[in-house]
A = this chain, B = another copy of it.
């Protein structure tokens, strides 16, 4: 394979990303690098996991995805590589990688990264993106089998994040806010299938915390300034204001639980 993606909370101001890129291409000179984002809020593993999981379906099949949101770097938390039908994930064993593994078809095998011959040495205590994960990903791109990097671990034994809140009944859904994007659009944990099962159909008027949203195909389907419930480009129910910010309108933040109730 010939693509490595990067998802981190390093920001773009400090040269940390360039160090990872440089280490990777020194090992694998022909690899293509794709940055998913480096603006995960510091240490926000759930956010990093979500962005990564929603990006990997669109990256080239078989790519190696490095993700580093790693508040436990330098402690006993493990580094792992996880294989899935659609690609390979490399990063800390803190739950960050697992939603992306699911999005790539489900983790089929995993190894703990212990074989320091594949690391950049000396390994710093604080920058495993540069010293462990980027070099392992580059070696994987060059064809080193995952089993070379360390002992096998069952995917079920890797750290997983608790699933987001999601409940439904006839004509209502309660779903955790899992993301607020740069436009202020509010993504919920409910898929379009959940909306269908709850009988929230196109054209329905839905109460959300005292506000009324109309279910429609897109924010452009409603008048400027109006609230819309739609299925977003990742396949999840989302709330938007046409030309505005639904997060601001609703006072919604990640981790909140939104209750959608169809109005009679």
Residues of A within 8 A of B (CB): 2-3, 5, 7, 10-23, 25-26, 29, 32, 34-40, 42-43, 51-52, 54-55, 58-61, 63, 71-75, 124-127, 130-131, 179, 181-183, 217-221, 230-233, 243
Contact = CB atoms under 8 A, between A and B. Distances in A.
A75 B218 CA distance: 8
Nearest to A74: B218
Nearest to A55: B15
B25 A12 contact: no
A29 B2 CA distance: 9
A145 B10 CA distance: 36
A186 B61 CA distance: 40
15 contacts: A3-B25, A7-B15, A10-B182, A12-B39, A13-B182, A15-B52, A15-B55, A18-B55, A19-B55, A20-B58, A22-B58, A125-B218, A125-B231, A125-B233, A126-B218
Count chain B CB atoms within 10 A of each CB in A12, A18, A23 and give the residue with the most: A18
